[in-house]
Amino acid sequence: MPFDLRLVAYAPNGARLGILPHPTSLQVSWPLNDVPALKFTYSAHAVGAQLIAQPCEIGVQWSADGTTWTENGDGRFLLLRREGDQLDPSGVWRFDCPSYLWVLKKAVTYAHASIAPVNGQRMYGSPTPNATAGFIMNSLLTEAQARGALFNFGWTFTGTTDSATTTWSQTFGLGIPLGTDVLSVLLTLVDAGLIDIRMTGPRTLSAWRPGTAIFRNLTTVPAPVELAAGRDIRAAPDVGTLEDMASAVYVVGDASFRIERTNIGTPLPWGRWEVGVRQVGVTETSAAALVGDSLLVRGAVERTQRTRELSFTAARWLPLRDYLPGDLIYAPGEAGQRKAMRVRQITLTRTDRGVVGGNLVLDDRLADLELLVRRRVALLARRP
């Protein structure tokens, strides 16, 4: 039996309610370092419809043989939104379900019990920039649970070590406006390159030092993951653009600080192309150079979005089982040639006839470098 997906309903923070055997459509996406999302449609007349007529959780399970079903750690979702036509005789409703991680939006940043806010912000690492991403998140989660929020939410890291028991090393300062939801804080830390995240249980968050645990290299293992055209991949569409090309960047920072960065080695078809950027938090040359260079990295070559359409009929390597977002794998690149690329997102679909499809969004090593530089730039703007 080929690769398949199914939906299972669970009580809020509770036990299994039952299988939803007849979705008329299903789409689920797992982006790297972000919030997964599930969309599906279901008829009010179908078996199991009563399970989703109330607040509940939805588990997405996969199987490679039709017998053993697995829900990955980031496979639990909250049924929060439904949409349908009361006059439609089919009774089909659409359901939008964010990852269980979304519950962090329902806990917010309070003032510290003994440290006064500064300009309406809760300060971490001030005046000495000695805070870590783990310390910030652990404190916000712990305090939220002490107030009665985030019931049954768990995490596998502490204020001193990540989920691999490695000490948090990167220190910084950060001001968080009071009332900011905890999910926004978490994603800010992710964007700044200070933390990597993934749900590793139905209601459990794990977090690591950036660029470590979830950035596996599956091209150097004894059995490298290699998605082959015609077997694992049925189409390899790319979209290329020259719109971001630039050979000169004009950086404007705080206190009237200005600097130009140029890339004389960038051969542009139409000559010199300029781009300007206003970067809050930049007041000295090295920081401004980093900002400018990040745009020059992006502007040096054509940018390409690589999507690989999955085939499951004879696939050797399966998503969720053999590779996850963040993994470096082999896949068809230019002219279908094998190329090492990182999985940025996995999207899977299922039709009412039980046909499973999907695609991957992939990036190459240049995109990895660009992301690293962008994250360093983002961190500059978050220092108090």
pLDDT at 304: 84
Same domain assignment for residues 42 and 66 = yes
Q: Is 358 a member of any domain?
A: yes
- Computed over every residue of the chain, the mean pLDDT equals 91
Of 301, 325, 348, the one marking the end of a domain is 301
In the predicted structure, residue 383 carries a pLDDT above the cut 50: no
Amino acid at 275: V
| CA distances (Å), origin 280, targets 6, 14, 185, 220, 311 | 47, 45, 18, 41, 46
Provide the domain count of the chain: 4
Same domain assignment for residues 59 and 74 = yes
Same domain assignment for residues 281 and 326 = no
Q: Is 122 a member of any domain?
A: yes
Q: Is 281 a member of any domain?
A: yes
Same domain assignment for residues 52 and 146 = no
Same domain assignment for residues 168 and 73 = no
CATH of the domain at 78: 2.30.110
pLDDT at 163: 99
Same domain assignment for residues 156 and 201 = yes
Pairing of the two strands 238-241 and 303-310 = antiparallel
| Cα–Cα distance, 265 to 20 (Å, whole number) | 58
Element (H, E) at 19: strand 16-20
pLDDT at 384: 42
| Cα–Cα distance, 183 to 105 (Å, whole number) | 5
What percent of the chain stands above pLDDT 70? 91
Same domain assignment for residues 140 and 204 = yes
Extract the tokens encoding 1: 């039996």
| Cα–Cα distance, 50 to 119 (Å, whole number) | 49
CA 9 to chain centre: 24
Same domain assignment for residues 322 and 365 = yes
pTM recorded for the entire structure: 0.89
Hey, which of 111-115, 228-232, 379-383 has the most confident mean pLDDT?
A: 228-232
Same domain assignment for residues 318 and 363 = yes
| Cα–Cα distance, 293 to 291 (Å, whole number) | 6
- Is 169 in contact with 352 (CB distance < 8 Å)? no
More confident residue, 83 or 278: 83
Q: Is 381 a member of any domain?
A: no
Residues 6+ apart with CB under 8 A from 280: 253, 254, 381
How large is the average pLDDT for residues 258-282?
81
What percent of the chain stands above pLDDT 90? 69
- Domain carrying residue 319: 233-239+304-369
Residues in the chain: 384
Give pLDDT tens digits for 61-99.
999 999 999 999 999 999 999 999 999 999 999 999 999
Amino acid at 95: F
Q: Is 8 a member of any domain?
A: yes
Q: Is 215 a member of any domain?
A: no
Q: Is 223 a member of any domain?
A: no
Pairing of the two strands 154-155 and 204-208 = parallel
Q: Is 225 a member of any domain?
A: no
Extract the tokens encoding 69: 């079903």
